[in-house]
Chain A
């Protein structure tokens, strides 16, 4: 649940999503759910010459299972805090 919360804090920021089919899509993060499915608005494909396949797409829902990387805006991520939080989650057995 940590990364779900983390991505929720990035809603409204611009991210680049790299899919497992090598497609890279830039857009504004609109929402995330527990499976890390992601919805983007103002979608733009990074290499439109090579990938005209989703040219007319304005907003997109990406299934979490096909996402390889999500490139984050560095200024909006507190890496120190995130590191501590991930450590805490590993060392403390989760309740629930």
Chain B
């Protein structure tokens, strides 16, 4: 005849102890995997964090070049640019700069974000650069 477990039974106690331990372990595993997921998303953002408050060069999907100070961004690479201007390239004359001011660029339209070496940029003679505008990104 099977023995009925009782609360003061040693066997019963150990069984429950193990059970609680395993619940603890399990929740710890879940916690840990959440942690690593968080880290992953955080790491993704960190890549652009390095450019925040720096002068950046945005190449848009339609081939425009916009220079400005990166103030913020999000997961979809939507971008906030401060004090921005567009550089219009043409093969007939030098580069024309058009003031834009504060801009938000939707992530879909962003092709490339480049960190500008400000010294190098200052030493560039934009009036002498002749080039066709960049083509749009063909999908």
Contact = CB atoms under 8 A, between A and B. Distances in A.
Interface string B94-112: 0000000000000110111
A70 interface: no
B10 interface: no
Interface residues of A, number: 29
B131 A54 contact: no
Nearest to A39: B47
Given A21-B59, A62-B112, A56 B117 contact: yes
A45 to B, nearest CB: 10
By DSSP majority rule, is chain B's interface helix, strand, loop, or mixed? Answer: mixed
A19 to B, nearest CB: 6
Interface string B122-139: 001000010110111111
**Interface SS of chain A:** mixed
Nearest to A61: B113
Interface stretch (A29-37, A75-83, A87-95): A29-37
B93 to A, nearest CB: 14
Given A21-B138, A51-B134, 11 more contacts: A20-B137, A21-B134, A21-B137, A23-B59, A33-B43, A34-B40, A39-B47, A58-B120, A63-B107, A63-B110, A63-B112
